[in-house]
Structure 1
Amino acid sequence: MKRRLSLLPLLALAACSQPPPKVVDAPSVLPPLEREAARIMPERRFAHVDYLLVDKSERMMIGYAGGQPVKVWRGLQFGDRPQGHKRFEGDERTPEGRYVIEGRNPGSAYHLSLKVSYPNRADRAYAAQFGRSPGGDIFLHGQPNALPFGRVPGDWTDGCIAFSNDEIEELWRIVPDGTVIEIRP
């Protein structure tokens, strides 16, 4: 009986205690693209990327090599009206969809630039039904050459995707022409 009585305070204490906190797997609570970025291993070596995935809402781009994420760029800058797919020349929107890097301009007004293949056939057809131009000259590029240092604040392009000058120099080296770029809302 004495032994049972000595266990009572321990049982009462155990009954009042909180269950251990539920452990949440941090990557599962992140947005999908952030989960993908979290898979990047810093020691993974790569010479170039073969696929670029841009998420406009996250202002992030992930570079892939051989199907594996190898590099992430954050803080992307877009056109003055970043929401929605580019439809017409002058709408200051950044296109959405699947395109390719189709060239490069070392003499760009924006510290190096990689040309995106916008507009595609669907983009041209959409604009044509309204008698308008879909626009063009969409690039991944650095900051304006006239800017002495730093970054232009906010969204400022006419539909391009802007990076820091150091970032566009890296992209220039690792993104070959023909690389697929998918731009998501």
Structure 2
Amino acid sequence: METKSIVLLFIMTAFLTACAGNSKKTVQMAAKPIMKKHHSVVSQYPMSLPPPVVESRMRTVEDVVNNFGPYATGQLKPYFRKAGVAYPPREVTFIALKQEKKLEVWARDGGEFRFIRDYDVKAASGVTGPKLWQGDKQVPEGVYRIVGLNPNSNYHLSMKLNYPNEFDWFHAQREGRFDPGSDIFIHGNSVSAGCLAMGDEAIEELFVLTAQVGEENVKVIIAPRDPRLLPLDPEGYGLPSWTPELYRMIAAEMEGFSDAVKVSNNRPFYPASSPLR
């Protein structure tokens, strides 16, 4: 009996050892492709970042002109025709008036600039005075150029200004302000943190016009209010010491844009005490 028991125990031990070996082999084979796939993912993307999402093709400026151009051009051409300016013109100037919350479009095709039309500014944060710091939510004041068209803006469409320009940088460095801010746009939607928000319909027209004229042929003047109706006051509370120089420059730039058109169109005038919203 003892011999039989020993033989039986030996057979059972061998059987169990064989099962354990097969089980281990099965787990390794099953785990191998999983581990390989896992390491492949880790080797391409850091553990702290998710794999990139494949998005549809981003639209281009040409796409915007093709999509919105016919309608925008149809909206603009009657104004150009009435002003006696060819479309598209050779040069365009946008005049943004912070207090009046208006953006005027002036254009010429060889002669003097003529008034084309204006748009309501839906939002322009801040108060009277130039932009000084990143995060102060001030709309800048001065003479600028458009240096980029963004057809994929979070605010529908946007046009980037060259703020800070040489004037802004000069005074910022003299005062030790090494972060005067950046990324100032004219864009769609109706919210602002230092930009000019024009609403989606208006920005479509302005974007298409700028694309057709060429960024290099578009100037942007941003004034605290209309100096053609009342001289700018550089002595306001909290304004920097170089504000008189800035306001003289803005007023001089606007001398070529007659206020006779404004009077003939019976545009409302907002007094100097009117706050920005």
TM-score over 0.5 for the pair: yes
Q: Which runs of 4+ in 1 moved over 2 A?
A: 40-49, 125-132
Q: TM-score, normalised by structure 2?
A: 0.45
Which of these residues, 102, 114, 120, is aligned with residue 60 of structure 1? 102
Corresponding residue number in structure 1 for 2:150? 105
Share of identical aligned residues, percent?
31
Q: How does 1:16-27 map to 2 (within 5 A)?
A: none
Corresponding residue number in structure 2 for 1:134? 180
Q: What's the CA shift for 1:97?
A: 0.6
Q: TM-score, normalised by structure 1?
A: 0.66
Matched, 1:159 2:194: yes
CA distance in 1, matches of 2:124, 2:81: 27
Which of these residues, 108, 118, 125, is aligned with residue 72 of structure 1? 118
Q: Tell me, what secondary structure is at the counterpart of 1:180?
A: strand
Higher helix share: 2
Structure 2 unaligned spans of 5+: 1-78, 225-277
Residues 100 and 131 of structure 1: CA distance in aligned 2, closer, same or farther (over 3 Å): closer
Q: What's the CA shift for 1:42?
A: 7.1
Q: What's the CA shift for 1:125?
A: 2.6
Q: List per-residue Cα deviations over 1:48-81 (Å, max 9, x = no partner).
A: 55111111111111111110001211244112x2
CA distance in 1, matches of 2:106, 2:150: 23
Corresponding residue number in structure 2 for 1:87? 132
Q: List per-residue Cα deviations over 1:19-54 (Å, max 9, x = no partner).
A: xxxxxxxxxxxxxxxxxxxxx787346325511111
Which of these residues, 191, 195, 203, is aligned with residue 168 of structure 1? 203
Q: How many residues align?
A: 134
Give the partner amino acid of 2:165: N
Give the partner amino acid of 1:163: M
Give the partner amino acid of 2:167: A
Q: Which has the larger radius of gyration?
A: 2
Higher strand share: 1
Corresponding residue number in structure 2 for 1:47? 88
Corresponding residue number in structure 1 for 2:219? 180
Contact 1:124 1:133 in 2 (8 A): no
Contact 1:90 1:135 in 2 (8 A): yes
CA distance in 2, matches of 1:132, 1:158: 20
